[in-house]
A and B are shown apart, each in its own frame.
Chain A
Amino acid sequence: MPDQHIASAFDRDLESVQAQIMKMGGMVEDAIRLAAQSLEARDEELAAQVRDGDKAIDALEELINERAARVIALRAPTAIDLRLILSVIKISASLERIGDYAKNMAKRNAVLAQLPEVSDSTGAIRRMCKTVEAMLKDALDCYVQRDAELAMDVIARDKDVDQMYNALFREFLTFMMEDPRNITSCMHLHFIAKNVERMGDLVTSIAEQVVYLVTGTQPDEDRPKADDTSTRLKG
């Protein structure tokens, strides 16, 4: 199939909206990395920077949605073009949520910095963030390259994030049982870990959009899941 539309303005519209997605993706990757860094280093200034940066991410999502609506209204996209526009809308929404979670992590930082440190769990959270960030990078790469196979690989990797979260969940439970003075910190840290686990799910949904875009069908629902904390009685 030829890549180019007869109406070249249509190609330009689609390219520009995808370029905005890539820009937004880059900003969200940064937000994840910096939020995790600020958490580990107890760097309140860096945390403030992440919180401020979220406004730009939100604005970009709005812009992308406007552009997508415009393409739908003016060009009545079908088939691959339609799937592209739908994927753009969904991916920008997922990116925006991930950005919110990064911002929330930075917010909790302000509280955590006032409390005594609990073991080296912030390092574990940073490693978890690093995994999610790498998944996001790959999800966006396979979006550009229309690579459904790599997308399936990204989806499979969410299991690792789930397992890391399970381990942290057990750890926080243990700390809280050991010493009630840990509870405040551990509650915040647990929310952060849970949010990072949710980021992984959102990255997975981005990868699923890539599969839909390329193949026209959604991948199977029964992807590997390893977050079993919702059925756990004790650590």
Chain B
Amino acid sequence: MKDNIISEMDVTTDKIKISARNVQVYYGENRAIKDVSVEIQDKTVTAFIGPSGCGKSTFLRCINRMNDTIDICRVEGDILIDGEDIYDSSVDPVQLRAKVGMVFQKPNPFPKSIYDNVAYGPRIHGLSRNKSELDDIVERALKRAAIWNEVKDRLQAPGTGLSGGQQQRLCIARAIATEPEVLLMDEPCSALDPIATAQVEELIDELRQDYSVVIVTHSMQQAARVSQKTAFFHLGNLVEYGATDKIFTSPEDPRTESYITGRIG
């Protein structure tokens, strides 16, 4: 029997988008990620949960090679997107990041107009041939990020003048303007009030129609609300990975159980 609420939560595809095999990450001598293998599905929201310092953000940042920017950081193992190794020497990290967008914990709009914030990515990647095409891309991205109605009359105003929740949705619009295939979100709602959080969560659910979304969150309830798959990290290990409803009703591993029920910090 399928009722509406449950089927809405269903994962609609079995296609594997991101495949990580035996990933190890070192910061100098310190091993932050220990032999993590995971397969992340397309058109699915996957939540990474775990206590601070467990490696979930580090692992997230491996997926678009953000860790390349840290000198002492070394990544071993394979990460494949659509079967292609993103750490292959032929892969241009800038091109990769157009395909794998990222939204950060703190909204970080460029000190530019709202329009230019969103148009920046499409411009540098040459996604439009003329002004009217670019206008369309900006409008579509802002609409998808559920902020168009609030900013359509002041597109030339600075992005930094928006409220926190609006800035975060602007950053999401910026991330999706390049039509990425994967969207990484590192604590996207931790600086937002409950209404802005609900709007972003609603947006995440919509984005799932087209993208594979990976979200790192400290809010267990948020992970439960937005994701279909949940991965629990602890001390650099991937302890448990499975359907979100299973993880939150009857997890297999006692460490997962302890964490989600609030028995360890």
Contacts and interface: CB of A to CB of B under 8 A. Distances in A.
Contact of A83 (B224, B250, B260, B264): B250
Contacts of B258: 1-2
Interface string A125-141: 00000000000000000
B263 A1 contact: yes
A20 to B, nearest CB: 21
Contact of A7 (B221, B251, B262): B262
Interface string B228-265: 00000000000000000000111100111110111111
Bin the interface of chain A by size.
10 to 19
Given A1-B254, A78-B220, A10 B248 contact: no
Contact of B250 (A5, A6, A77, A217): A217
Contacts of A77: 261
Contacts of B248: 78-79, 82
A10 to B, nearest CB: 7
A73 interface: no
B263 A216 contact: no
A73 to B, nearest CB: 13
A81 interface: yes
A6 B250 CA distance: 20
Interface string B84-106: 00000000000000000000000
A231 interface: no
A4 interface: yes
Nearest to A7: B262
A5 B257 contact: no
A190 to B, nearest CB: 36
Interface string A1-25: 1111111001000000000000000
Contacts of B250: 79, 83, 215-217
B262 A10 contact: yes
Given A1-B257, A76-B221, A78-B224, A6 B249 contact: no
A2 B257 CA distance: 10
A196 B125 CA distance: 76
A80 interface: yes
A144 B233 CA distance: 32
A5 B260 contact: no
25 contacts: A1-B254, A1-B257, A1-B258, A2-B258, A5-B261, A5-B262, A6-B264, A7-B262, A10-B262, A76-B220, A76-B221, A77-B261, A78-B220, A78-B224, A78-B248, A79-B249, A79-B256, A79-B260, A79-B261, A80-B257, A81-B261, A82-B248, A82-B249, A215-B250, A217-B250
Interface of A: 1-7, 10, 76-83, 215-217
Given A2-B264, A217-B250, 18 more contacts: A1-B254, A1-B255, A1-B257, A1-B258, A3-B263, A5-B263, A6-B264, A6-B265, A10-B262, A76-B221, A78-B220, A78-B261, A79-B248, A79-B250, A79-B251, A79-B257, A83-B249, A83-B250
